[in-house]
Amino acid sequence: MKNKGAFFIFIFAAATAAGKAEAICPVCTVAVGAGIGLSRWLGIGDLITGLWLGAFLLSLALWTIDWLGKRKIHSPIAKFAVILAGYAMAIVPLYYAEITVHPIDFLRSCAQDKLILGIIEGSAVFFFAAKLYESLKERNNGRAHFPFEKIALPVIFLLFFSLAFYFITR
């Protein structure tokens, strides 16, 4: 990791510039980075780590988009910017810390970076689980089937895919 200094300077500057915690806050970014470091230390594969990171990033992006909607900001450009910024705030520091490859290199290498591939898959799994929850809730007259169903469905799907990826890549 030749750019450790730049990575830590970026994290320190982002953390000290924050006045309060926002949807995509520097503290969250540091926590995600620490979680990735912890998962590497524990020996958890990058594909599984990326799966949870992708779900986390999409969740933050959707939460921020909902927050903007409450403030009457419904622009597709704003939604795109929120999603792009959310993923960039996590992937760019990982790139500079040489934990992951450049996104263009990822496309050229046919998805050989397991962390980026996991982020993509985790985002897709989370999106599917969220849409499934909305569909199930709609069929049940706008009510959840059980308490915390909105949280349980994505977690169950992520656990299932984590186990599947663990046994596939083992």
Q: Which residues, 6 or more positions from 21, have their beta carbon under 8 angstroms from its beta carbon?
A: 27, 28
DSSP class per residue in 94-154: HHHTTSS--HHHHHHTTS--HHHHHHHHHHHHHHHHHHHHHHHHHHTTT--SSTTHHHHHH
Span 59-100, pLDDT tens digits = 888 888 988 999 998 899 999 999 999 898 888 888 888 777
Please determine, for residue 1, whether its predicted confidence score (pLDDT) is greater than 70: no
Q: What is the pLDDT of residue 8?
A: 47
Q: How many Å apart are CA 33 and CA 80, to the nearest integer? A: 23
User: The tokens of 74 are what?
Assistant: 């419904």
Q: How many Å apart are CA 23 and CA 12, to the nearest integer? A: 18
Span 17-50, pLDDT tens digits = 444 434 334 455 455 556 666 777 788 888 888 9
Q: Which residues, 6 or more positions from 7, have their beta carbon under 8 angstroms from its beta carbon?
A: 1, 93, 96, 97
Between residues 108 and 121, which one has the greater pLDDT? Answer: 121
Span 109-145, pLDDT tens digits = 655 788 888 999 999 998 999 899 999 999 999 998 9
Please determine, for residue 6, whether its predicted confidence score (pLDDT) is greater than 80: no
C-alpha to C-alpha distances, 72 to 65, 83, 158, nearest whole angstrom? 11, 18, 32
Q: How many Å apart are CA 39 and CA 110, to the nearest integer? A: 24
Q: How many Å apart are CA 51 and CA 155, to the nearest integer? A: 11
Q: How many Å apart are CA 133 and CA 51, to the nearest integer? A: 19
Q: What is the pLDDT of residue 14?
A: 45
Please determine, for residue 105, whether its predicted confidence score (pLDDT) is greater than 80: no
